[in-house]
Amino acid sequence: MRPPLCIAQFDIDPWRAKRQPCRTEAQAYNASRGCTAASHARPRAVPDIREIPLEFQGKIIILTGAAGGIGAALAREFAQRGARLALCDLNAPALNDLAQELGALQMVCDVTVESRIQAVVKEVEVTLGPVDIFFSNAGFSAGEPGHAASAPDRIWQAAWEVHVMAHVYACRAVLPAMLARGQGYLVQMASAAGLLNQIGDAAYSTSKHAAVGFAEALAISHGHEGLKVSVVCPQYVATPMLGYDDPGAAAPLPDVLSPKTAAQRIADAMEEERFLILPHPQVADYMAFKAMEPEKWLAAMRKLRARLMARLGKLDLAQMHKWM
């Protein structure tokens, strides 16, 4: 008899233990196959190098999109853990405030301009030393006016440049030196939209899928050469992208993380040097459901989209996330 399909192939998750009882369709699906939270917890038989925790103390980190939202929370979290930071963003005043607060290096930089990324890396190498971690976090979401291909070309192009090419440029700027040293760590901010989808934003979802693909390619090509790679795929976090402007506020809704909580979970997972970082652990269940039942997953997403349209009349991220 075939063993029941479940999500036991996912690593043990430190947040999984704190999860709510099975409520979602995906969780019910897994439960119907006899897959319980306890059955996920399989000890690894062979310890591997990833179990040696990353030490943030003294690490030189370049972080993009650092001036607000998740980026600013990450900067504070990394600083608290002892890292030496070089912060980049387009928003010069907010960047300056944060850099002053943390005593960090600041560089106004458009991540879509390769020569700027090269210049940032050179300046960091001269001022601080070799780059240990390049965290590509900058991103944006613009939504779409109508059907799934209706966003203008400039939005599709910008999504490609910010969510994918910026990661490629960062990699070109630091990877040769990291490979020569036999160590280095690239962290790429994608999104749960890059594994599942974001209703109402095809350009965002498509480019974030590409970001996940590039991170996988890096890990496959260079994981044996001392390069660590992580791809971060959060669901909703209460940042300006979702219409929240108080970075210190508590999470407004149960499934929406505060930037601080998201940053803590990301830093914890980086200490374990996990490849796939899921600040919302339920995303693993949704991925398993999608992989095992793609037609049912699409039907559930269509139902959710119809419900949102009926309630809100449009698919605006700042409103929509409150009704998911």
**DSSP assigned state of 11:** P
112 binds ligand NAD (CB under 6 A): yes
Q: Which CB atom, from 93 or from 313, has the smaller least distance to ligand NAD?
A: 93
96 binds ligand NAD (CB under 6 A): no
Order across the sheet with 227-232: list the strands: 105-108, 84-89, 60-64, 133-136, 184-189, 227-232, 276-277
191 binds ligand NAD (CB under 6 A): yes
Number of residues that bind ligand NAD (CB under 6 A): 28
Q: Whose structure tokens read 């930071």?
A: 85
139 binds ligand NAD (CB under 6 A): yes
Rounded to a whole number of angstroms, the CA Rg of the chain reads: 20
User: Alpha-carbon distance 161 to 166, whole Å?
Assistant: 6
State the nearest-atom distance from the C-beta of 5 to ligand NAD, in Å: 28
204 is catalytic: yes
Residue 230 CB partners (closer than 8 Å, separation 6+): 185, 186, 187, 188, 215, 269, 270, 273, 274, 275, 276, 277
User: Alpha-carbon distance 281 to 33, whole Å?
Assistant: 19
143 binds ligand NAD (CB under 6 A): no
CA-wise closest residue to 208 among 235, 233, 230: 233
**DSSP assigned state of 161:** I
State the nearest-atom distance from the C-beta of 123 to ligand NAD, in Å: 16
Q: Spot the catalytic one: 29, 169, 204, 236.
A: 204
Torsion of CA 93, 94, 97, 101, to 10 degrees: -160
> Segment near ligand NAD (CB under 6 A), from 5-13, 69-77, 142-150, 215-223?
69-77
Q: Which CB atom, from 109 or from 178, has the smaller least distance to ligand NAD?
A: 109
Sketch the per residue contact string, 198 through 237, with ligand NAD: x for CB under 6 A, - otherwise: ------------------------------------x-xx
State the nearest-atom distance from the C-beta of 291 to ligand NAD, in Å: 20
Residues that bind ligand NAD (CB under 6 A): 64-65, 67-71, 89-91, 109-112, 137-140, 162, 189, 191, 234, 236-237, 239-242
